[in-house]
Amino acid sequence: MNHKANKRSLRIFSWIALLSVAIFMYQCTEDPYEPDVTGTIAGIVKDAETDAPLPNVTITTQPATAEAPVTGQDGRYLISEVDTGQYSIVAEKADYDSKILSIKVKKNDTARVTVLLNPSDGSASSDITFEDRFMPGEGAQDQPIDPLLSWKAVDGTADDSLTYDVFLYRPDSPSRTLVAEGITDTSYRVDPLIYNSVYYWQVKAMDEQDDENVTYSRTLSFKTKGISDNSLFFVQKVDGDYEVMAYDFDREDVNPITFNNQRDWAPKLNPKSGRIAFVSDADVKPLIYTMDKNGGEIQQLSDDLAVNGYHNYGNAFDWDEKRGKIVFSHNRYLYEIDANGTNLQAITTAPANRHFREVEISPDGAQILTLTIGEKVYNSEIYLMDRNGSNKQVLIDNPPGIVQSPSWSIDGNSILYTQDVSGNESIDGRMLDSRIFRLNLSTMDTTALSQNKSQGTNDMHPRYSPTGAQIVFTNAPNDDSQPPRIMIMGDDGESREELVEEGRLPFWK
């Protein structure tokens, strides 16, 4: 082969090699491996009148999935390997009205939906008809958590009075719930529901003079409002117990978060996860629980270590947002636990004859601010230590009067705390003139911030706003003649005003 042929062959080989590399790179770029992100849909279909499971119901979805199952004799169905996202579930069976429900499928989770079907001939033998005047109407959004359900029904044969049963249920409920029975009004206000949740409701109309003259309304859905991201959480006394509440700055209203008829205390939001940690005596002793900010998905963390100790009312815990943990005290011991309730570990102990009463993690997660207390409630000190419990430093060393409520500034350069400047040291812990102070951690200079406080009241539980421009706190008469209220002021102590008429332990982050 001559020199020109060799040169031409080499050039062809080079072009083939380059083309192969280009094809390989294109395939790697355009078709990367993506793992499946799927969940499961499961549930049961029942007769809306008898609550009996319904077999042979065809289940389809919109958008469509690979499976379109038919319910078994137990009324159950299952659709596996469903791509995550929003779906409508369609249930169809001969002699029954079809039903469409909405559901959200999450990664590696099972979305459970109970479907109640009405017999299609259920109203044919009845002279009662419902007018299309339902409130809230089908698909209504942003409804209050105690909505007023209203309807209109007419008996076409007589002037006999009608009575009504009202049913209400969530998509994942095993069966519908009878919330009102035999009422004569055409409206009913339900008890507080869960925020940010879909509910289905239906009315049964009955002729008092004719047991067979009965009909059911169509089933309607609505969704309750969610708690705004711009909310402050606090505690309020309700019927003798304490419940977690939220003040919504956008709507300027107060919303209950818990309805447990127990002492739910000291709510603290983790903005990173969107969950609230709080202490409840649902299991008799004060244990830590978490929930989403709408009051759902409540989870108990520790089974046996209560947040207690000398004069400890359940305040001594805080989120370590960077590590996904909660730090809390049990008598003179400081512990940490993962947010899912695992990995419980001891961090450090308080000085001899003292217990931890309050705990705050620094904004950068590097330090812990604590209040320790002796057997007497006025024997109080504020400590600063490293996150691992080392290098303890006394910031406030047991001055006259009760000291409490240490909390961090947004930048971590100062802290807020309160002190009863009257110096009163009664054994029952009564404070006469508790005021808010700011301590600069670099200079150790103290600034008084309660100069405009009304005489005969106590300022307590101060916390900075998310921007650091304001301070929210509790103010109450020192003789407990009136309930405590939540107030707000500038970071200089000026422009004090009432925010919530009754409440304590505000948390704003």
Query: Which pLDDT score, from 0 to 100, does residue 247 have?
Result: 94
Query: Which pLDDT score, from 0 to 100, does residue 422 have?
Result: 96
Query: Which pLDDT score, from 0 to 100, does residue 23 have?
Result: 38
Q: Say yes or no: do domains 38-117 and 231-507 share a fold.
A: no
Over residues 454-491, the pLDDT tens digits come to: 999 999 999 999 999 999 999 999 999 999 999 999 99
Cis peptide before 136 (omega within 30 of 0): yes
Question: Apex CA 429: angle with CA 425 and CA 433, to 5°?
Answer: 70
What's the whole-number average pLDDT of the chain? 88
Over residues 177-203, the pLDDT tens digits come to: 899 999 999 999 998 888 888 898 999
Residue 159 pLDDT level (bands cut at 50, 70, 90): low
Name the least confident of 27-36, 90-99, 328-337. Answer: 27-36
pLDDT over 70 (residue 205): yes
Over residues 389-402, the pLDDT tens digits come to: 999 999 999 999 99
The gap from C-alpha 354 to its chain's centroid, in whole angstroms, comes to 34
Q: Provide mean pLDDT across the span 345-350.
A: 97
Domain limits, the chain: 38-117, 128-224, 231-507
Do the strands 38-47 and 110-117 form a parallel or antiparallel pair, or are they unpaired?
A: parallel
C-alpha separations of 225 from 165, 190, 196 in Å: 25, 15, 5
Topology of the domain covering 128-224: Immunoglobulin-like (2.60.40)
Q: Provide mean pLDDT across the span 153-167.
A: 83
Largest separation between any pair of C-alpha atoms in the chain: 113
Query: Which pLDDT score, from 0 to 100, does residue 140 have?
Result: 92
**What percent of the chain has pLDDT above 70?**
91
Query: Which pLDDT score, from 0 to 100, does residue 360 have?
Result: 97
Question: Apex CA 402: angle with CA 400 and CA 407, to 5°?
Answer: 120
Nearest C-alpha neighbor of 337 from the set 322, 347, 327: 327
Amino acid of residue 404: Q
Q: Provide mean pLDDT across the span 241-260.
A: 89
Q: State the virtual CA torsion across 252, 255, 257, 260 in degrees, nearest 10.
A: 150
Topology of the domain covering 38-117: Immunoglobulin-like (2.60.40)
Residue located via tokens 């983790």: 270
Residue 98 pLDDT level (bands cut at 50, 70, 90): confident
Q: Give the pair of three-digit tokens for residue 250.
A: 């956008």
Whether the predicted model's global pTM rises above the 0.85 cut: no
Query: Which pLDDT score, from 0 to 100, does residue 22 have?
Result: 42
Sign (positive or negative) of CA dihedral 118, 124, 129, 131? positive
Residue located via tokens 């008469």: 477
Query: Which pLDDT score, from 0 to 100, does residue 131 have?
Result: 92
According to DSSP, the residues that pair with 233 across neighbouring strands are 246, 507
pLDDT over 50 (residue 13): no
pLDDT over 70 (residue 14): no
Total residue count of the chain as it appears in this document: 509
CATH class as words, domain 231-507: mainly beta
Helices (H), 50-152: none
Name the least confident of 180-184, 192-196, 305-309, 412-416. Answer: 192-196
The gap from C-alpha 404 to its chain's centroid, in whole angstroms, comes to 28
Q: Provide mean pLDDT across the span 102-124.
A: 79
Name the least confident of 108-122, 237-251, 296-310. Answer: 108-122
Query: Which pLDDT score, from 0 to 100, does residue 17 have?
Result: 42
Distance CA 484, CA 501 (A): 8
Distance CA 185, CA 380 (A): 58
Ramachandran angles phi, psi of 25, nearest 5° = -65, -40
pLDDT over 70 (residue 10): no
Distance CA 179, CA 38 (A): 36
